[in-house]
Copies of this chain bind each other. A is one copy, B any other.
Amino acid sequence: MRIGELARRTGVSERSLRYYETQGLLRAERTPGGHRDYPEAAVDRVIRIQELFAAGLRSTKIAQLLPCMRDDDGGPSAVATPRLVADLTAERDRIDRTIRDLLRSRDTLDEVIEAAQGR
């Protein structure tokens, strides 16, 4: 599929999709004229990428991580190096802390919201 359709189906801008390509996160075949042509699996992949971005990982980490994920267009997964595992473990712990933080902040907001609704 073309970049426009992929953008529409994932909710990610064409600009971002091209950026992902420069970062090695997403590859595409090219038509004879040079237009990008994505496989169907790109949809899931882009959504996965967005989730990881939302989790605060930066593109270089995601680029290392993606080949180690199963479900990566069905091919056999690469195995993470010890170095990468250490990095990912640190990321996971950071995510855990972030989640705790978010829960606290959500409670804070709820308090204010409820107080304003007169109870």
Residues of A within 8 A of B (CB): 48, 51-52, 54-55, 57, 65, 68-70, 77, 79-82, 84-85, 88-89, 91-92, 95-96, 98-99, 101-106, 108-113, 115-117
Instruction: A84 to B81: give the CA distance in the assembly, Å.
Output: 48
Q: Tell me if A's interface is mostly helix, strand, loop or mixed.
A: helix
Q: Is the CB of B112 within 8 A of A55?
A: no
Q: Identify A102's interface contact among B95, B104, B106, B109, CB under 8 A.
A: B95
Contacts A69-B112, A99-B102 known; 9 new A-B pairs at CB < 8 A: A51-B105, A52-B108, A57-B105, A65-B109, A69-B108, A80-B116, A89-B113, A98-B102, A99-B99
CB < 8 Å neighbour of A113 from B80, B96, B108, B113: B80
**A67 and chain B: residue at smallest CB distance:** B112
A-B contacts, 18 of them at CB < 8 A, read A54-B98, A54-B101, A54-B102, A55-B105, A55-B106, A68-B116, A69-B108, A70-B111, A70-B115, A81-B116, A82-B116, A88-B113, A92-B109, A92-B113, A95-B102, A95-B105, A99-B99, A99-B103
